[in-house]
Amino acid sequence: MSDPVTVQTHEVVVLGGGPGGSAAAALLAQLGRDVALVHPSSPQGAALAQSVPPSARRLLAEVGLLDAVDRAGFRPNEGNTVRWAGGAPRSESFPPGSGGFHATRGDLEAVFSRAVESLGAHVRRGTSARSVERFDGEWRIRCASQDGGPLELRTGWLLDATGRTGVVARHGRVPDRRTETLALLRRYRRPDGWDGADATHTVVESHGEGWAWSLPLAPDVRCVTTMVDPPGAAARGSDPTPLFEAHLAHAPLLADLVAGAEPLGDAWACPASLYTSSRFAEAGLVLVGDAGSFIDPLSSYGVKKALASGWLAGVVAHTGLVDPGMAGVAAGFFHHREESVYRGYRRLSARFFEEAAAAHGHRYWASRAEAARAAGGEGEGPTPEAIMDGTEWEIPEDAVRAAHRLLREQPHLEARAGAGVRVVERPAVEGRRVVMQRQLASARAPGGVRFATGVDLLVVTEQAPLHREVPDLWHAYNRVAPPVGLPEFLTGLATAFAAGFLEHGAP
Ligand SMILES: Cc1cc2nc3c(=O)[nH]c(=O)nc-3n(C[C@H](O)[C@H](O)[C@H](O)COP(=O)(O)OP(=O)(O)OC[C@H]3O[C@@H](n4cnc5c(N)ncnc54)[C@H](O)[C@@H]3O)c2cc1C
């Protein structure tokens, strides 16, 4: 007789305890939601070495995982040494103590899962989802667990954060076949360790047939990864070590780095082809992090992208639970954001691939540059960082500086509403919920903007025509909006002029 199935119901079920799933579960637990995290005991690709940039700290703090990461004592990530497109190696260090780190996927997940549990989520360790079905808006997830009988989790909100596996996500996946890539990884030990920048830097190098990088996991251990076209059918399944060595020989900076070091076992392979999704979310379902899309590891931003995605997925599920009428809007907001992030990264990588294609003249680069350009679209567009920060329609800094200068040169303030400026209602995140927000839009900021440097531009634009001195305007602003310091206020005011929300001239 088979074991009886244990059935448990939660407000939210998150599948997968990588950075995306952990961020979502951590945020939801802190918001007081009843959330379960399904976490297999040995994550896929546990040995994969990853660099996490200092800029991920803000997100880690936002979801409550930063202290746990700081306590873990991971190898610091203090910068990059890059030899790209045949140029001379360039070394760039992060400011001292800025807090990036290198860690294996397995170590990072172990730290995250303990932290998520301590924040109040139900972490189902040693459990993985086997099948998922939906009945009348309720998800039923059959799980296999190592120590216990069969488990069925039920929920109205399912967050699929199962990475490339994509338990639900794989059904709507859109692979970019022109980017089929295999990552080959091998570790090396140098008993005396590496020194100088090599001790903490990520080292990256492009060559004719691909690119490679290395990062330190301990003072005496580095992991080297080469990104290659997948081998033909005949070579599939065979030991990838000879292929790895052949590619490493094309990358002299990296070959020198590990010359004389002892290889720790053979090379191993993992898939690294790119994909996106036709739909990232709907009411009751969110595809988080790599489940929804995979960007080139060249950016070193996969973990950060997954953290941002997990944070927003948590916000979306929370919104749907607090205000079911907003569930569809919140899901649409998530979809738009994830789609833009994916396109933004593809656009960013196109520049690097084009440089490499021009220098190396190999099909590897030409096809990827073309694929990246097609996927990213034309033009500059918002940076992935700006999209993740929710400032995708940011006004260029030089325009804000010019507006600032002009303000200082004027004897008095004379401001009127800009021609064509209008108030639009757009979804935005406020107080960890997706709400309809009144925003200002103009020809220069067509997507709608509300805040800049914490200053409410709607209030600035309403108040500015009423005052002839900037300090008076600042005091008036602080009486009706959460107070801000004068420097932030001046930047906000300059942004309102730069965006065309205000114009100089008599009201
Ligand atoms: C070769 C390579 C190198 C990379 N290097 C970097 C780097 O240096 N820096 C960086 O930022 N990013 C890097 N990345 C990308 C980064 O690893 C991912 O973007 C990031 O881990 C995505 O996080 P995630 O939580 O979305 O998914 P994942 O980290 O993939 O987590 C998914 C989780 O779901 C679990 N899971 C799978 N199936 C099931 C199931 N049925 N039930 C429950 N759970 C399941 C998995 O075990 C895993 O724990 C690299 C990727 C590759 C392939």
Mean pLDDT of the chain: 92
- What is the helix (H) or strand (E) element at residue 310, kind and residue range? helix 302-322
Instruction: Report pLDDT for 234.
Output: 58
> Residue 42's domain is classified under what CATH number?
3.50.50.60
Q: For position 233, which CATH number holds?
A: 3.30.9.100
Which residues make Cβ contacts (< 8 Å) with residue 157, sequence separation at least 6? Answer: 11, 12, 13, 139, 284, 285, 286, 317, 320, 321
The pLDDT of residue 204 is above 90: yes
Which pLDDT score, from 0 to 100, does residue 445 have?
87
Same domain, yes or no: 262 and 398:
no
Pair 336, 209 in one domain: no
In the chain, % of residues over pLDDT 70: 97
State the pLDDT confidence band at 298, using cuts at 50, 70 and 90: confident
pLDDT at 209: 87
What pLDDT was estimated at residue 97? 83
For residue 38, tell me if it sits in a domain. yes
* Residue range of the domain that includes 423: 393-504
Task: Answer yes or no: do 36 and 137 share one domain.
Answer: yes
Residue type, 54: P
Q: Per-residue pLDDT tens for 88-122? A: 999 999 988 888 999 999 999 999 999 999 999 99
**Phi, psi for residue 449 in degrees, rounded to 5:** -140, 145
For the cut 90, the answer to whether the pLDDT of residue 381 exceeds it is no
pLDDT digits (tens, 9 = 90+) for 453-501: 889 999 999 999 999 999 999 999 999 999 999 999 999 999 999 999 9
Mutate to test the pocket of ligand 1, among 15, 38, 39, 50 (most ligand atoms within 8 A of CB): 50
Kindly tell me if the per-residue pLDDT of 2 is higher than 70: no
Evaluate if residue 374 carries a pLDDT over 70. yes
Q: Kindly report the protein residue whose alpha carbon is nearest to atom 38 of ligand 1.
A: 162
- Could you read off the pLDDT of 231-290 as tens digits, one per residue? 775 566 788 999 999 999 999 999 999 999 999 999 999 999 999 999 999 999 999 999
Separation between Cα atoms, residue 244 and residue 251, nearest integer Å: 11
pTM score: 0.94
- Ligand 1 in contact with 163 (CB < 6 A)? yes
- pLDDT of res. 235: 64
pLDDT greater than 80 at residue 379 = no
Residue nearest ligand 1's atom 31 by CA: 18
- Residue 3's pLDDT band, with cuts at 50, 70 and 90, is confident
Give the number of residues written for the chain: 507
Contact 111, 26 (CB under 8 A): no
Q: What is the pLDDT of residue 35?
A: 98
3-state secondary structure of 78: coil
Q: What total number of domains does the chain contain?
A: 3
- CA 106 to chain CA centroid, nearest Å: 19
Indicate the SS3 state at residue 70: helix
| Residue 1 in this model has a pLDDT that exceeds 90 | no
| Under 8 Å between Cβ of 48 and 135 | no
% the chain with pLDDT above 90: 80
In sequence order, which residues have a C-beta less than 8 Å from that of residue 113 and are 6 or more positions away?
17, 22, 37, 39, 123, 125
Q: Does the CB atom of residue 53 touch ligand 1 within 6 A?
A: no
Residue 379 within a domain: no
- Establish if 83 belongs to a structural domain: no
Q: CATH number, domain at 469?
A: 3.30.390
Same domain, 265 and 282: no
Confidence of residue 432 (pLDDT cuts 50, 70, 90): very high
- In the chain, the amino acid numbered 435 is V
pLDDT in tens, 36-64: 999 998 777 888 999 999 999 999 999 99
Q: Is residue 225 included in any domain, yes or no?
A: yes
**Would residue 372 count as lying in a domain?**
no
Question: 166 CA to middle of ligand 1, Å?
Answer: 11
